[in-house]
Amino acid sequence: MSVSTSYPISAATARHLNRPVFGHVIDGEVVASLDGETMPVIDPATGDEVGVAALGSAADVDRAVRSARAAFDDGRWRYLAPLEKERRLRRLAALVEESRTLFGESDTIDSGLLRWYTDAMVDFAVGSTEYFAGWPSKIEGTIPPVPSDMVAYQLREPHGVLGLIVPWNGPSAVLAFVAAAISAGNCVVLKPAEQTPMTAVLMAELAAEAGIPNGVLNVVQGAREAGAALVEHPGVDAISFTGSLGAGSAIQAAAAKRAKPVSLELGGKSPFIVFPDADLEAATAAAMMGVWMASGQVCTAGTRVLIHADIHDELVERIVERSRDMRIGSGFDPESQLGPLVSADQLARVQSYVGIGQEEGAELVLGGARHGDVGYFHEPTIFTGVRNDMRIAREEIFGPVMSILRFADEAEAYAIANDSEYGLGAGVWTNDLSLAHRAARALRTGQVWINTYQAGYPSVAYGGVKLSGHGRLQGGPGIDELTHVKSVWIKVGAPL
Ligand code: NAD
């Protein structure tokens, strides 16, 4: 099997790449699909096939759900003492940390994301696992006041078997979702994205090594069919989905047939608003990072850059000049500032939106073309003169395309920002304290970042409103999402 990169990789990653197949993990065993079907694993920097993964069917999903169901129903995990769960989750975090190069390199081969970014995703995964390792002994119930001949208490209980369906733009970061779900006592069937099957197998293997019982984390590789089978399976109690709006709404509709709770983390078209008093140097760097990071394949990408008329031309010039010389290349090249898109489909999608932007009358001031003819690279692309009714201002492109809009005053900034079907993130750049707080209230999004962008921490809730989804990951609200409340009543008789 060819190794995907001319850059050196660790011996552990080379061994991982040499697996005959990136299989499912069911009941602690790495297995092939029952029907033997596979799918290719493609390195987006070269377009080369670097391996094969199992392509799961409904029959494989059924095996995984039975395993998770048994693990939940016999209580091998949920009835384990809270501190013991915590010890094992901490061990899992430590094992992933020890294998950080393997995870980071595998993610770069699989997704094309730059090495610093895949390292940051591993840090996020480890940090989140450490954070959620602290929860099992702290998921408390409450005792509400009731008439004095009764006692009632409310328990927070895990949903049971959780189907976790995820996208490709942070394959190792998915460990954060897994750690949250199992810290709350759930058993999980994870369906990684078909583009990035490599690291989920490692997660499940290290979970077993950390003492997390078989069946608590199962992995079914595959595409939409496997995801759909997971959603529909009667043995699955709840669904947590991160991905596109189209898939998310199909999943919610399918889950409704069995009244399953669903949390949806979907896309965005996040406004990044710069007021005239802002620190323009910091705003320039953040605007660039907000769209070029991961080549724009980030749900919170700040792809609608709203600039006050007084500083519009100056800020545009700064962003364009600094973006012009960005180095495009393999995620393994430490000099690269922009890596490839994940797939040929994603490249074609970005190219089609460049055409749409031009047809709509926006001015293409930078980029606009595919870069090279190997792999799936695209130039950083900037449109100015964008109106908020253009498709490049309304639709999520998920690529390195920045749409710049001009506003005249605060009210117009909020009106443009909120005139979107999405509501994931928003950035505000100002040194006016009152304006900053007004903006935080006015913007209809799940996150507002002021003088920073895309900050996050495992203790802080994350999620969207409107078509960006519902439900929260991370923090206490993330635990609430993964549990339900059971009320217990006891008749004790009238007080003596
Ligand atoms: P996608 O929706 O096509 O796929 C995501 C996952 O869902 C994959 O595992 C896929 O196999 C599965 N899937 C697809 N259709 C399904 C169906 N009908 N039933 C069950 N499973 C199905 O998304 P993508 O193209 O892989 O990822 C890009 C999208 O994800 C973007 O819209 C992006 O904004 C979003 N995203 C959101 C967040 C967030 O936290 N809000 C984070 C990352 C990505």
Rounded Cα distance between 235 and 64, Å, is 10
Rounded Cα distance between 38 and 33, Å, is 8
Q: Which of 86, 194, 299, 481 is catalytic?
A: 299
Per-residue pLDDT of the chain (496 residues; tens, 9 = 90+): 333 457 899 999 999 999 999 999 999 999 999 999 999 999 999 999 999 999 999 999 999 999 999 999 999 999 999 999 999 999 999 999 999 999 999 999 999 999 999 999 999 999 999 999 999 999 999 999 999 999 999 999 999 999 999 999 999 999 999 999 999 999 999 999 999 999 999 999 999 999 999 999 999 999 999 999 999 999 999 999 999 999 999 999 999 999 999 999 999 999 999 999 999 999 999 999 999 999 999 999 999 999 999 999 999 999 999 999 999 999 999 999 999 999 999 999 999 999 999 999 999 999 999 999 999 999 999 999 999 999 999 999 999 999 999 999 999 999 999 999 999 999 999 999 999 999 999 999 999 999 999 999 999 999 999 999 999 999 999 999 999 999 999 999 999 9
φ, ψ for residue 409, nearest 5 deg: -155, 175
pLDDT recorded at residue 412 = 98
Q: Which of 265, 379, 396, 481 is catalytic?
A: 265
255 CB near ligand 1 (under 6 Å): no
Give the atom of ligand 1 at the shortest distance from the alpha carbon of 243.
Answer: 30
Concerning whether 232 is annotated as a catalytic residue, the answer is: no
pLDDT recorded at residue 7 = 84
Query: Sign of the CA dihedral 96, 101, 106, 108?
Result: positive
- Cα 243 to averaged position of ligand 1 atoms, centre (Å): 2
* Neighbouring C-alpha atoms within 13 Å toward the C-beta of 380: 25
Query: Which of 414, 418, 458, 421 minimizes the C-alpha distance to 438?
Result: 414
Count the Cβ atoms, other than its own, within 10 Å of residue 34: 15
473 CB near ligand 1 (under 6 Å): no
pLDDT recorded at residue 5 = 55
486: tokens are: 């059971």
pLDDT recorded at residue 95 = 98
Tokens 């996050």 — which residue? 456
Ligand 1 pocket test: which of 124, 169, 376 has the largest number of ligand atoms within 8 Å of its C-beta? 169
pLDDT recorded at residue 73 = 98
223 CB near ligand 1 (under 6 Å): yes
264 CB near ligand 1 (under 6 Å): no
Concerning whether 299 is annotated as a catalytic residue, the answer is: yes
Question: Could you write out the three-class secondary structure of the chain?
Answer: CCCCCCCCCCHHHHHHHCCCCECEEECCEEECCCCCCEEEEEECCCCEEEEEEECCCHHHHHHHHHHHHHHHHCCCCCCCCHHHHHHHHHHHHHHHHHCHHHHHHHHHHHHCCCHHHHHHHHHHHHHHHHHHHCCHHHCCCECCCCCCCEEEEEEEEECCEEEEECCCCCHHHHHHHHHHHHHCCCEEEEECCCCCCHHHHHHHHHHHHCCCCCCCEEECCCCHHHHHHHHHCCCCCEEEEECCHHHHHHHHHHHHCCCCCEEEECCCCCEEEECCCCCHHHHHHHHHHHHHHHHHCCCCCCCEEEEECCCHHHHHHHHHHHHHCCCECCCCCCCCCECCCCCHHHHHHHHHHHHHHHHHCCEEEECCCECCCCCCCECCEEEECCCCCCHHHHCCCCCCEEEEEEECCHHHHHHHHHCCCEECEEEEECCCHHHHHHHHHHCCCCEEEECCCCCCCCCCCECCEECCEECCECHHHHHHHCEEEEEEEEECCCCC
What is the β-pairing status of strands 238-242 and 217-219?
A: unpaired
- Residue pair 295/301 in contact (Cβ under 8 Å)? The answer is no
- Residue pair 97/129 in contact (Cβ under 8 Å)? The answer is no
